[in-house]
């Protein structure tokens, strides 16, 4: 039996006036996904437990079959695992965005989608500056992809590590156009040190040649860093030992790679997988087909609909969903014809165009099982699954339900 889980990140939405009161999922032309729905089972689920912010970290951990209440320690640690950063129990790992600050406001949470090459130069400059200025500097910046980076701070005690791990930080994409000072009003000495590092980094970045060149080219400068999503190193159970199945992950996002690595899944690197609109959808589909030849389970994640939601670009979101259908879902499903397999498709969370950030609302779910007659669900969208028979349960139970119920 083969299992494939398609994750169109942030694809679900609210009705949009410009779409005549419909959602991007409703208007997108998705014949392959609709075929899954028409012959499968529909319903709703929710991947974000009460008390958690609706981040892709929590939501995708649920989809991968792990209860966030038991395993989640923060977004930063998951991304650290994806790039092989070795940490100790006293290391607090922060997600570190390169951002554009203007008049103490979050002007651009991704610094105009700065290139990975430019950002790596800036991360090196920050490490050089802080290590030269402070003999006892306990932090280190790690370059990632585009605007997504990491900052690891090595604490002197378990108490300090626990304090920082619970620091009240906020995702930068949640505060676009808002005051940065308002969201860094921390009071403990170690907390204040984190704020000071962010603002001192600004002094290094604002006149760096990389940013001066970006400004000359009319691009947003990466003139500050923003710490968030921090935590301690998690300990996920081995996926194969837990579910008895070998698993692989395809994604352009380090966060999901980290979840897979900590769960001892295989990470399939796909050339051209960028985690943005320009990701190579066709390559993801082709690599997905190959991965299923050697693995029992495949998680195939596409970030583009979420990025379109954050950018509040209706056409890009619709286009991303259609490309997922054409280049990923269609070819993968065709490759599985004649085999025993089950497929599920669901977003991790909604990213409504009208809001520009994640919400923790229920998301549509479709499950297809070869050889079984579905429940008459009409389509994979916020309305079409309402006629389905899937009982809503916690999102982290989907993997075991997929194996045992359908």
Q: Do 68 and 114 lie in a common domain? A: no
Is 267 a member of any domain? Answer: yes
**Is residue 195 within 8 Å of residue 180, measured between CB atoms?**
no
Is 292 a member of any domain? Answer: yes
Is 81 a member of any domain? Answer: no
Average pLDDT, the chain: 95
pLDDT tens across 158-193, in order? 999 999 999 999 999 999 999 999 999 999 999 999
Q: Tell whether the model's pLDDT for residue 354 goes beyond 90.
A: yes
Is 360 a member of any domain? Answer: yes
Q: Do 143 and 188 lie in a common domain? A: yes
Q: Do 245 and 394 lie in a common domain? A: yes
Q: Do 239 and 227 lie in a common domain? A: no
**Is residue 232 within 8 Å of residue 92, measured between CB atoms?**
yes
Q: Do 114 and 50 lie in a common domain? A: no
The count of domains in the chain is: 2
**End-of-domain residue from the set 205, 231, 257:** 231
Q: What is the pLDDT of residue 382?
A: 97
Q: Do 269 and 347 lie in a common domain? A: yes
**End-of-domain residue from the set 177, 200, 231:** 231
pLDDT tens across 280-296, in order? 999 999 999 999 999 99
Domain of 394, CATH number, reads: 3.40.720.10
Q: Tell whether the model's pLDDT for residue 335 goes beyond 90.
A: yes
Q: Tell whether the model's pLDDT for residue 48 goes beyond 90.
A: yes
Q: What is the pLDDT of residue 119?
A: 97
Q: Do 196 and 241 lie in a common domain? A: no
pLDDT band per the 50, 70, 90 thresholds, residue 357: very high
Across 123-142, average pLDDT:
96
Q: What is the pLDDT of residue 242?
A: 97
Across 22-41, average pLDDT:
97
**End-of-domain residue from the set 231, 261, 283:** 231
Q: Tell whether the model's pLDDT for residue 79 goes beyond 90.
A: no
Is 83 a member of any domain? Answer: no
pLDDT band per the 50, 70, 90 thresholds, residue 234: confident
Is 186 a member of any domain? Answer: yes
pLDDT band per the 50, 70, 90 thresholds, residue 11: very high
pLDDT band per the 50, 70, 90 thresholds, residue 198: very high
| Residue 18, domain extent | 2-72+235-404
Q: Tell whether the model's pLDDT for residue 233 goes beyond 90.
A: no
Is 82 a member of any domain? Answer: no
pLDDT band per the 50, 70, 90 thresholds, residue 276: confident
Q: Do 24 and 142 lie in a common domain? A: no
Q: Tell whether the model's pLDDT for residue 386 goes beyond 80.
A: yes
Q: Do 269 and 222 lie in a common domain? A: no
Q: What is the pLDDT of residue 286?
A: 98
Q: Do 251 and 381 lie in a common domain? A: yes
Q: What is the pLDDT of residue 3?
A: 98
Q: Do 205 and 342 lie in a common domain? A: no
Q: Do 49 and 160 lie in a common domain? A: no
Is 84 a member of any domain? Answer: no
Q: Tell whether the model's pLDDT for residue 82 goes beyond 80.
A: no
């Amino acid at each position: 039996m083969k299992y494939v889980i398609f994750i169109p990140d942030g694809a679900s939405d609210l009705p949009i006036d410009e779409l005549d009161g419909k959602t991007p999922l409703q208007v997108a032309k998705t014949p392959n996904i609709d075929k899954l729905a028409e012959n499968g089972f529909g319903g709703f689920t929710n991947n974000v437990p009460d008390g958690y912010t609706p981040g892709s970290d929590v939501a995708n951990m649920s989809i991968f079959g792990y209860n966030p209440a038991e395993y989640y320690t923060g977004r930063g640690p998951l991304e650290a695992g994806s790039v092989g950063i070795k940490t100790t129990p006293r290391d607090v790992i922060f997600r570190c965005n390169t951002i554009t600050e203007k008049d103490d406001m979050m002007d651009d949470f991704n610094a105009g989608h700065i290139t990975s090459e430019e950002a790596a130069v800036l991360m090196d400059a920050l490490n050089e500056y802080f290590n030269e200025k402070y003999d006892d500097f306990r932090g280190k910046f790690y370059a990632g992809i585009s605007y997504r980076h990491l900052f690891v701070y090595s604490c002197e005690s378990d108490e300090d590590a626990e304090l920082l791990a619970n620091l009240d930080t906020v995702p930068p994409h949640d505060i676009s156009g808002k005051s940065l000072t308002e969201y860094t009003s921390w009071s403990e000495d170690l907390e204040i040190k984190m704020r000071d590092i962010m603002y001192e980094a600004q002094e290094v970045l604002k006149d760096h040649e990389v940013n001066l060149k970006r400004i000359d080219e009319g691009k947003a400068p990466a003139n500050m860093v923003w710490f968030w999503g921090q935590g301690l190193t998690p300990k996920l159970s081995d996926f194969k030992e837990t579910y008895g199945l070998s698993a692989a992950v395809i994604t352009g996002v380090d966060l999901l790679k980290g979840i897979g690595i900590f769960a001892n899944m295989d990470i399939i690197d796909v050339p051209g997988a960028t985690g943005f609109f320009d990701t190579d959808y066709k390559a993801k589909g082709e690599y997905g087909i190959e991965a299923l030849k050697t693995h029992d389970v495949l998680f195939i994640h596409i970030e583009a609909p979420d990025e379109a939601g954050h950018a509040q670009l209706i056409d890009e979101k619709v286009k991303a969903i259609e490309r997922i259908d054409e280049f990923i879902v269609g070819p993968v499903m065709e490759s599985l014809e004649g085999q025993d397999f089950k497929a599920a498709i669901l977003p991790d969370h909604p990213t409504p165009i009208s809001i520009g950030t994640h919400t923790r609302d229920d998301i549509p779910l479709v499950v297809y099982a070869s050889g079984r007659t579905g429940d008459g669900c009409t389509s994979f969208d916020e309305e079409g699954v309402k006629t389905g028979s899937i009982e809503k349960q916690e999102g982290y139970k989907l993997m075991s339900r997929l194996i045992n119920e359908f």
